[in-house]
Structure 1
Amino acid sequence: MQGSFCDNIVRSSTKDAMPDSLGNYLIPTSYSRIVARELGLQERELPRLLEGTGLPPHVLLAGDESRISGQQQLQVMTNARRISNDPAFGLRLGSQLTPRSHGPIGYLALSSPDLLTALKSLRDFLPIRIPFAQVDLHEQGQSMACDLTILLPAPTTQLRMLVECFALVIQSLVESFLGRELREASIHFEYDRPAYGDRYEKYIHSELHFAQPASRVVLPAHLLTEANPEGDANSYAAARDMCAALLEQVPVTALSMTDRVKRFLLAQPAGSVNEENVARSLYISRRTLARRLQAEGSSYRRIREDMMAEMAAVQLRQGQLSVESIAVLLGYHDSANFRRAFRRWYGCSPQSFRDGVKPE
């Protein structure tokens, strides 16, 4: 392995978090893809979302690793609000921003041993993905305040949308740990209650306060020691290192459809998506995806099988996890199914492979 997951984050953070020469912050296009999905856009409709940005439609395709400026991201959100004809689109978008939508930061947070560590992970590594926002944590007696600051100059409407999104990002992270809706927090917004204020209660589950000195989420202190419900910390650490190393192997430029599918699969928990999910992320039908992959001499099944086989081999060679743990890591609910798949890939059992026994 080429260093730990966190090492990879630290190495990339200086370049990725820096504003461009015009003072705009550079942001992954993955967030604009979430916008497009929430709008239900088809491939031919993508240019509407990018009007006024100067960006080509391919930046909205899964696997694209481009970064866009803060101003371009604001324009995308402005276009989305117009296309949706919904003043509460910021709330709709925020509800889609689960921890896993933030790529490596989300996995880092979800692998944390407790909620406080997860919030600190979000605070410390947010510049890697969303450099125009800042989260600060402040203890306040029997509570902790998560202050939200938007560093990017933005008109009132867009600023409100961004703050709505970030309040829901915090809520989603906390709810991932609790395994239930967050009801005991207090959510503060520094702007006045908007005309669509009654819509907030559909998306935000805690007490709401408008026209406050700062935008923040206030959490009871007892929640901060909430343990990670995902369990096996070693498996999650191994998954993070594995994904960080494998992502480096996929070309960043001139992506083929095969490369795009690989990048999408590598950015998800193993075994958590299917061919339909991949097609939807590319704004095409499953049939179109199959046709384009076939033109490249590939297929979804072949890509998935090759990646799973490589991941399994990496973990077995490292020797840190049991065969059963590797099966779970790769999304197999039955280790017997994993063993059968492994024999198909390598002609031997996982344990024989680990022991260096030649294929039968």
Structure 2
Amino acid sequence: MTTRSILGLIYMVQGLKQLGEDPEPVLQRHGLSGDKLDPTTRIERARELRIYADWAETLHDPLTGLKMGAFFGLAGYGPLVMLLMTCATAYEALQTGIRYQRLTYLYGTLRLEPGERMSALILDPMMMGPKAFRFRVDGEASGTYKMVRDMQATMGLNLRAERLDMPYPKPPEAAAYEEHFGCPVRWGEHEVRFWLRNEYLQIKLPTADPNAHAMYRTMCDQQLKLQEATSASLADRVLNHLGMFNNHFPSAEEVAKSFDMSERSLRRQLSEDGRSFRDLLADARYAKARYLLKNTRLPIEDIAAQIGYAESAAFIHAFRRWAGATPGEFRDQ
């Protein structure tokens, strides 16, 4: 399985507690305890993302994701921060950050889109359920903003975005976003876009150091190799991704977009491994149904709805095909 430092999860736990939320019930459901998380260990990305999705369903404050960025310390990015700060220009730092984005706490995908007067640093978010989507988008946008602002403070710079685009409808709390990011916000776009004046990209960084930059690049390359050595198969990744959803599961096209590939490529690669998207969707539903039957007393009708069946009869028929028993018989066993 693809893994990364558990430090990002620890920051989230600390932030949620300080904001008056209780992260422990969700952690306990995943076999974890906030007080016992070891910052030197790693966590599977899919498991971490399922925890985030579960947290999103419990939040009391819709601005929690926006506020979470404040709890991600600059030092937590390790050698990546020093790699960026030793670049020659702001443009080089952005391009380097995009190349090594897997060493950040992002689940979305970063890219830079140049323009004539302004360029856009784009965060293409991972598709999730509505509550989890806003929680992750807000957290990743504010976390990216916090990282850039902290680096600027260290270097004595003060560069701000001209505008920010957000990929969901305008919420009642929209004014808080403009105050937080210090710029106008446009809603209902397809991606997160930080619009930057092109002259900012040419600014020379006062901390540029070619020799130190080469050293930190080597360290970051080693971290990437560690991640690649623990990569899961595409089928495993798709199955874990599907496991984060309730009620409505994403289509093959939506899942392919989450993994930055076309639907055709997704289906072809799964087929080469002897799997199909349809089978993986059935596996995800079966796993979720077993969990709910074993660990809750929810009525069969509610469980059917949670795994995407409009009628309990259809769910009972499917479950009998999967398990060789009805949901009720399985629960009694």
Give the stretch that moved more between structures: 230-239 or 218-227: 230-239
Question: In the alignment, which of 155, 161, 168 is matched to residue 142 of structure 2?
Answer: 168
Query: Closer, same or farther in 2 for the Cα pair 1:182/1:243, shift >3 Å?
Result: closer
On the 8 A contact 2:68/2:143 being kept in 1, the answer is no
Counterpart selection for 2:63 from 85, 88, 91: 88
Report whether the alignment pairs 1:32 with 2:9: yes
Per the alignment, residue 118 of structure 1 pairs with: 93
The amino acid that maps onto 2:49 is Q
Partners of 2:165 and 2:181 lie apart in 1 by 11
Partner SS for 2:196: strand
Q: Which residue number corresponds to residue 215 of structure 1?
A: 192
Distance in 2 between residues matched to 1:156 and 1:49, nearest whole Å = 18
Match of 1:158 among 132, 152, 158: 132
Measured after TM superposition, the shift of residue 60 of structure 1 is: 2.3
Q: Could you tell me how far apart the structure 2 residues matched to 1:141 and 1:32 are?
A: 39
Q: How does 1:45-84 map to 2 (within 5 A)?
A: 47-48=24-25, 50-55=27-32, 57=34, 60-63=37-40, 65-76=41-52, 78-79=54-55, 82=58
Q: What is the distance in 1 between the residues matched to 2:90 and 2:57? A: 33
Contact 2:118 2:196 in 1 (8 A): yes
Percent identity, aligned pairs only, is 19
SS at match of 2:15: helix
* Structure 1 contact 28–129 (Cα < 8 Å) conserved: no
* 2:167 matched residue in structure 1: 190
| Contact kept in structure 2, 1:189 and 1:215, CA below 8 Å | yes
Q: How does 1:134-283 map to 2 (within 5 A)?
A: 134-151=109-126, 153-175=127-149, 176-177=151-152, 179-235=156-212, 237-238=214-215
Figure out how many residues of one structure are paired with residues of the other and give that number.
Answer: 218
Instruction: Name the amino acid aligned to 2:88.
Output: P
CA distance in 2, matches of 1:181, 1:91: 21
Q: SS state of the match for residue 100, structure 2? A: helix
1:267-313 Cα shifts (integer Å, max 9, x gaps): xxxxxxxxxxxxxxxxxxxxxxxxxxxxxxxxxxxxxxxxxxxxxxx
Change (3 A) 1:174 1:239: closer
Stretches (4+) displaced over 6 A: 242-245
SS of residue matched to 2:71: coil
Following superposition, the deviation at residue 111 of structure 1 comes to: 2.2
Residue 223 of structure 1 deviates from its aligned partner by 0.6
The answer for unaligned runs of 5 or more in structure 2 is 223-333
**Matches for 1:331-346 after TM superposition, within 5 Å:** none
Cα deviation, residue 135, structure 1: 0.7
Local SS of the residue matching 1:229: coil
User: Normalized against structure 1, the TM-score is what?
Assistant: 0.51
Tell me the secondary structure at the aligned position of residue 206 of structure 1: coil
CA distance change for structure 1 residues 59 and 228 in 2, over 3 Å: closer, same or farther? farther
How many angstroms apart in 1 are the aligned matches of 2:125 and 2:220? 30
Q: Is the 8 A contact 1:51 1:79 kept in 2?
A: no
C-alpha distance in 2 between matches for 1:202 and 1:51: 35
In structure 1, give the amino acid aligned to 2:84. A
Cα displacement (A) at 1:33 = 0.7
Determine the C-alpha separation between the residues in 2 that align with 1:61 and 1:115.
34
Counterpart contact for 1:115–1:224, Cα < 8 Å: yes
Helix, strand or coil at the partner of 1:34: helix
Q: Provide the secondary structure at the position in 1 that maps to 2:195.
A: strand
The answer to whether the Cα contact below 8 Å between 1:97 and 1:168 also exists between their aligned partners in 2 is no
- For residue 322 of structure 1, what is the aligned residue in structure 2? none
Q: Tell me the TM-score normalized by structure 2.
A: 0.55
Name the Cα RMSD after superposition: 3.4
Change over 3 Å in CA distance of 1:226–1:99 after alignment to 2:
farther
- What's 2:227 paired with? none
**CA separation of 1:216/1:98 partners in 2, compared to 1, >3 Å: closer, same or farther?**
farther
Distance 1:226 1:81 in 2: 42
Shift of 1:121: 1.5
Instruction: Tell me the amino acid that sits aligned with residue 28 of structure 1.
Output: S
CA distance in 2, matches of 1:130, 1:62: 14
1:196 CA displacement: 2.2
Say if 2:67 and 2:142, in contact at 8 Å, map to a contact too: no
